Amino acid sequence: MRKIQVDSLVPGMRLAKQVLGTNSEVYLNAGVILTSRYIRKLRELGFACVYVYDAFLEDVQVPEVQDVVHEETRRSAIGQLRKLLIDTEASRDKAIAPPKELTQTVYEMVDQIVENPSRMINLSDIRAQDEYLYHHSVNVCVLALTAGAEIGLTRRQLFELGVGALLHDVGKMRIPTQILNKPGRLTKEEFEIIKQHPIWAKHLLRDNPTGASIAAMHHERINGEGYPYGLKLGEISTYAQITGLADVFDALTADRCYRKAHPPHEALELLMATGDYWFEFNIVNSFLAIVAAYPIGTLVELNSREIGVVVETPKGFPTLPTVRVFVTAEEGWLPVPYDLSTLENCRFVVRVLEDEELAFIKKRFF
């Protein structure tokens, strides 16, 4: 399957992954054939991308993408978090106590991630614009837990990290919606309001010291350029740095009302420069080891002028995927594609192909 922009969808395409609605209900199930009406509705609801089975690549046999946590666990976390944050907004100053159901879901995430130590993060979440906060918080939790497991945190430590990461942005419930979802550049005064959300989160999580610390410091940077306190190396916890790094990556790779998402390889390239600058190097290195720069299903061109689709990425080598080559400069479209490890064959990806390029390539050879 491939992730594709909603604007590039055409009737007749088949969904490869379910699309979730406002209350984590299923809008459209995997396997649904898209119609003009469905595509229009996805666009109206603010979805930027979906996963589809690509008819052009049926003979290439792209493998299914597996999430590091089960789909039902992710869906449950989004729904429970949404209810908690809406209740928090209504109760104003009341301290947040995560309900038993939510903490149990974090335990389930920890178990699922620890039991799959070799799995890379290949899947990005599909979310509507007005659901950004809930999906973002769950994504940050999953990313932080996976990076924490890579660093070697215990199950207990991972649980503490997971709860804090899941609630790291709870302070945004105090920010006016017109500022939080503003499509243009924020004014200096508006950004100052945004910068208060870690302080508000710390106050709301006052009965959970670890969670409060993570929420308060997830925008701090070890060079002192972060906010709200301007903390430096030695003053920012490992939990907060892991959460902050996950927060940056998920924000970069999400479609927002004011910009398009960065593809994972661009986001990872930006994060590579943050080691011992924004975050400690070992934390950045561990994060890079668990996120695929080119997720399964990404169309790529190699320096050898071979074109194919990513089918796997070895853990620890995020930019060196295994590619199922189906077009070569010498032979054109291959009747029998072959798998090529860029790691083992001294190849590298020179570019990611756009959605419309695949149709052009196939038309050229048929």
CA–CA dist 125, 121 (Å, integer): 11
Q: Which of 193, 179, 175 is nearest to 89 (CA)?
A: 175
Residue 130: predicted pLDDT: 54
Question: Of all helices (H) and strands (E), which one includes residue 355?
Answer: helix 355-365
CA–CA dist 137, 196 (Å, integer): 18
pLDDT at 129 over 60: no
Which of the two residues, 98 and 61, has the higher pLDDT score? Answer: 98
* Percent residues over pLDDT 90 in the chain: 62
Q: Please state, rounded to an integer, the average pLDDT across all residues of the chain.
A: 89
The average pLDDT across 4-10 equals: 83
CA–CA dist 170, 211 (Å, integer): 11
Q: Which of 258, 122, 251, 139 is nearest to 190 (CA)?
A: 258
The average pLDDT across 332-354 equals: 93
pLDDT at 22 over 70: no
Question: Of all helices (H) and strands (E), which one includes residue 345?
Answer: none
CA–CA dist 65, 52 (Å, integer): 11
Which residue blocks in 36-154 are alpha helix, DSSP H? 36-44, 71-91, 100-114, 132-151
Pick the CATH number of 71-288 from 3.40.190.10, 3.30.70.3040, 1.10.3210.10, 1.10.150.20: 1.10.3210.10
CA–CA dist 144, 357 (Å, integer): 35
- Kindly state the DSSP code that residue 8 receives in the 8-state scheme: G
pLDDT at 124 over 70: no
State the sign of the Cα–Cα–Cα–Cα dihedral 71, 246, 263, 45: positive
List the chain domain ranges: 2-57, 71-288, 299-365
Cα 67 to its chain centre, rounded Å, is 11
Q: Say which range, 139-148, 251-260, 339-348, has the weakest mean pLDDT.
A: 251-260
CA–CA dist 212, 209 (Å, integer): 5
CA–CA dist 269, 252 (Å, integer): 11
pLDDT at 282 over 60: yes
Which of the two residues, 192 and 61, has the higher pLDDT score? Answer: 192
CATH topology agreement for domains 2-57 and 71-288: no
Question: Quick check: 172 and 179 in contact, CB under 8 A?
Answer: no
* 117's tokens: 């130590």
Strand ranges inside 168-233, DSSP E: none
Cα 37 to its chain centre, rounded Å, is 28
Question: Of all helices (H) and strands (E), which one includes residue 177?
Answer: helix 177-180
Q: Which of 168, 148, 164, 352 is nearest to 261 (CA)?
A: 352
Give the pLDDT confidence of 39-86 residue by residue, as tens digits.
998 888 778 788 888 766 666 777 777 789 998 899 899 989 999 998
CA–CA dist 299, 353 (Å, integer): 5
- 210 burial level (CB within 10 Å; 0-12, 13-18, 19+): middle
CATH number for region 2-57:
3.90.105.10
Residue 7: predicted pLDDT: 82
pTM for this predicted structure: 0.88
Q: Say which range, 172-176, 244-248, 357-361, has the weakest mean pLDDT.
A: 357-361
pLDDT at 180 over 80: yes
Residue 8: predicted pLDDT: 82
The average pLDDT across 23-47 equals: 85
pLDDT at 205 over 90: yes
